[in-house]
């Protein structure tokens, strides 16, 4: 064979058809060898292909003298082929795209993404792989154990529970009768049309320290601050630090805060008063109704993301400022379905 006759192209593999099996049966009854049978088929088949097929359809029969004889029967070979194909089941939709499988594993295991965030990030960033799969397919593959390292134990939430109905228990918080109600909040805050309106909450654990969590309603931009204790003085101190950092831009960036009626947030006058100019109100505060966490839904959803890194019962005293900043950076670069799989940083830019 000359050099020009070599081919590095992958040959196209095709299984035997039922018609070919009946031709094999007829040719084998004529006494042809496997190589001769393969040469007589169209397209031609390799000798080993014919040998395997003859072995598959080999059947013991008896003649009129009750003598046993092994012969190849096409219908037996076809039946066994169909049974084997049924047992095999459907092939993996991801196929042999190992690059996509490794990308999904890395995002979920190492970067704490959800399956939906991974698929959304692929679409939003225009990443190209050999196959395209959806979020449901990723969950199914994890359930079946199709991934080498990824299991349900790596998922932050296995499945979203059924949403419950919400209803207010009472309209006024008995411990905060002087606070400005969420009912007084302008429509543009409710509809998330304008940047600069934040929800505020605390994430607690073991120890005295806690996290002050600020969530911007339009972009879901997150600010996470470690406080020494869950007190009114500590909350005011952190807002004062933010005002000193942003100076005149504070009132533009933080136009309002919506929070619950926890004791740490009850100093409304102190939170609204500027530390740079005592006669100026730097922001405006609103209080949600009692037992109505859904009125600060963005805040609550962000807290779930924080719990991926700070599980309930964790000692927040041991968290360094660098650890807290790392959590904040991760959250602001995490793609969200509600944002069209953009990140808060991309939307707030």
Phi, psi of 231 (to 5 degrees): -135, 165
pLDDT of residue 6: 47
pLDDT of residue 238: 97
Of 177, 201, 184, the C-alpha closest to 262 is: 201
pLDDT of residue 89: 57
CA angle 162, 163, 169 (to 5 degrees): 135
CA 5 from centroid of its chain's CA atoms = 49
- Residues 273-284 have a mean pLDDT of 93
pLDDT of residue 66: 78
Is 80 exceeded by the pLDDT of residue 322?
yes
CA distance 196 to 192: 9
Is 50 exceeded by the pLDDT of residue 1?
no
CA distance 123 to 93: 18
pTM: 0.70
CA distance 140 to 247: 51
Predicted confidence band of residue 155 (pLDDT cuts 50, 70, 90)? confident
pLDDT tens digits along 174-233: 677 788 999 999 998 999 999 999 999 999 999 899 999 999 999 999 999 999 999 999
Least confident of 6-10, 13-17, 45-49, 303-307: 6-10
- Residues 234-249 have a mean pLDDT of 96
Q: Which domains does the chain have, with CATH numbers?
A: 14-88 (no CATH), 98-154 (no CATH), 182-348 (3.30.420.10)
- Residues 15-26 have a mean pLDDT of 90
Q: Is 60 helix (H, G, I), strand (E, B) or coil?
A: strand
- Residues 264-281 have a mean pLDDT of 94
């Amino acid at each position: 064979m000359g050099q020009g006759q070599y081919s590095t192209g992958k040959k196209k593999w095709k299984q035997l058809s039922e018609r070919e099996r009946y031709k094999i049966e007829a040719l084998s009854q004529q006494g042809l060898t496997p190589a001769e049978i393969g040469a007589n088929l169209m397209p031609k088949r390799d000798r080993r292909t014919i040998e395997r097929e003859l072995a598959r359809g080999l059947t013991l029969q008896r003649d009129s003298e009750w003598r046993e004889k092994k012969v190849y029967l096409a219908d037996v070979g076809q039946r066994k082929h169909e049974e084997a194909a049924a047992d095999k089941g459907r092939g993996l939709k991801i196929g042999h795209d190992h690059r996509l499988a490794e990308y999904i594993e890395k995002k979920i295991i190492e970067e704490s993404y959800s399956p939906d965030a991974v698929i959304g990030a692929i679409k939003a960033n225009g990443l190209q792989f050999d196959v395209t799969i959806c979020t449901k397919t990723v969950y199914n593959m994890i359930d079946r154990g199709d991934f080498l390292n990824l299991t349900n134990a790596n998922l932050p939430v296995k499945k979203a529970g059924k949403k419950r109905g919400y209803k207010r228990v009472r309209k006024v918080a008995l411990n905060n009768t002087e606070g400005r109600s969420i009912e007084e909040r302008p429509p543009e805050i409710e509809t998330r049309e304008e940047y600069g309106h934040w929800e505020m909450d605390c994430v607690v654990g073991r120890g005295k320290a806690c996290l002050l969590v600020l969530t911007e309603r339009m972009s879901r931009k997150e600010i996470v601050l470690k406080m020494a204790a869950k007190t009114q003085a500590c909350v005011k101190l952190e807002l004062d630090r933010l005002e000193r950092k942003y100076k005149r831009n504070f009132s533009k960036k933080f136009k309002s805060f919506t929070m619950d009626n926890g004791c740490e947030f009850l100093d409304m006058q102190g939170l609204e008063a500027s530390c740079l100019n005592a006669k100026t109100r730097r922001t405006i505060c609103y209080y949600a109704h009692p037992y109505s966490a859904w009125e600060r839904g963005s805040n609550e959803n962000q807290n779930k993301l924080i719990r991926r890194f700070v599980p309930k019962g964790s000692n927040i005293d041991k968290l360094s400022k660098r650890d807290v900043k790392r959590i904040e950076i991760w959250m602001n670069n995490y793609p969200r379905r509600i944002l069209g799989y953009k990140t808060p940083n991309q939307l707030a830019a």
